[in-house]
Amino acid sequence: MSDAIITKPLSYVAGGADCHGYLALPAGPGPHPGVLVAPAFGGLSDSDRAVADRLAGLGYAALGVDYYSGGAYTQDREEASALMQGMQNDRPLLAARMQGALAALAGQEQVDAARLGAMGFCFGGKAVLDLARSGADFRAGVTFHGVYDAPASGSQTMKPAMLILHGWDDPLATPEQTVALAAELTAHCADWQLLGFGHTGHGFTNVNAKGPGMGYSEAATTRGWANMLQLFADKLA
């Protein structure tokens, strides 16, 4: 596949608000399979845009998601935590923001609306799970060091195949919580897999991750990315 790409901001409406995403497209008319990129709790960052660019270079139309709306982004942990808590307290809104992003991606002329996937980091992993829990129609979902608690409304049948990429020592997703997610997936998802990385904590894809139970892992990042691409090849090709 060509590594030539086209990038541009993409504004769309989701959950009753204006959202400011980032669209990266392979060169050529397509139609291309599409992938949502849901960021960690700080909001859509340059590193998320780089992930979208990388996916576009591999032939996927990638939309960086603004699930907070308004293009909200911060590097301050307290501000990010406050933004995240607002969404955590309104899980239907989080699902609606993801549904709106999926619809915006599907509506692009260069995108094949029948071949859609989603991937997310940390709180973005929860966003991908909640999109699947809402019954949204897409083929493949991937979480990197996600957070697993289900919304109070529970889960509908999950249409996508799900891949959970998990650091076993993650304090934000304990073994008990991970087993609970596995039980939920068994009940609601016909095709799921979980890859656990030993001696690996939260934020393992983030080279700047620091703190108790957190840290970058080159091995987990490389293996997780390879497994994600294999799932996308199987489900979106």
Q: Is the pLDDT of residue 68 over 60?
A: yes
Give the DSSP letter string of 69-137: STT---S-HHHHHHHHHHHHT-HHHHHHHHHHHHHHHHTSTTEEEEEEEEEEETHHHHHHHHHHHTT--
CA distance 139 to 118: 8
CATH of the domain at 232: 3.40.50.1820
Supply the mean pLDDT for the chain. Answer: 97
Domain ranges, residue 129: 5-194+227-236
Domain-embedded: residue 203: no
- pLDDT class of 62 with cuts at 50, 70, 90: very high
Domain-embedded: residue 72: yes
Domain-embedded: residue 70: yes
Domain-embedded: residue 36: yes
Domain-embedded: residue 147: yes
pLDDT at 3: 58
Contact 94, 87 (CB under 8 A): yes
Domain count, the chain: 1
Give the helix/strand (H/E) hosting 158: none
Domain-embedded: residue 174: yes
Report if pTM > 0.75.
Answer: yes
Domain-embedded: residue 210: no
Domain-embedded: residue 215: no
